[in-house]
Amino acid sequence: MKMPKMIDSLRDALDMNKKKRKKEALQNILKKMKKKELSLKKSLSSASGKEKKRLQDSIKVSKAHRKKGIKALRKLKGKG
């Protein structure tokens, strides 16, 4: 799943009405985002130049979105 599509999924999950569905959707999306971030990190080790900079930027954006999603999940669970 591409990053923009994951971000759209995250937005959709945050807009859902049902709390349980929202939690499940967020958990699934966060897992996918983590896998994507790990694959980007693997690619980063073999990249160089502009490609390396692009990957670093992608990882930074991914981390920010995951952090936002984790915060929302904690809020749904009532832990902060």
Q: Which residue has the higher pLDDT, 70 or 78?
A: 70
- Stated pTM of the model: 0.70
Q: What is the pLDDT of residues 4-59, one digit of tens each?
A: 888 888 777 776 556 777 888 889 999 999 999 999 999 999 988 999 999 999 99
CB 22 within 8 A of CB 16: yes
Query: Domain coordinates of the chain in residue numbers?
Result: 3-73
Which of 79, 60, 76, 61 shows the shortest CA–CA distance to 23?
76
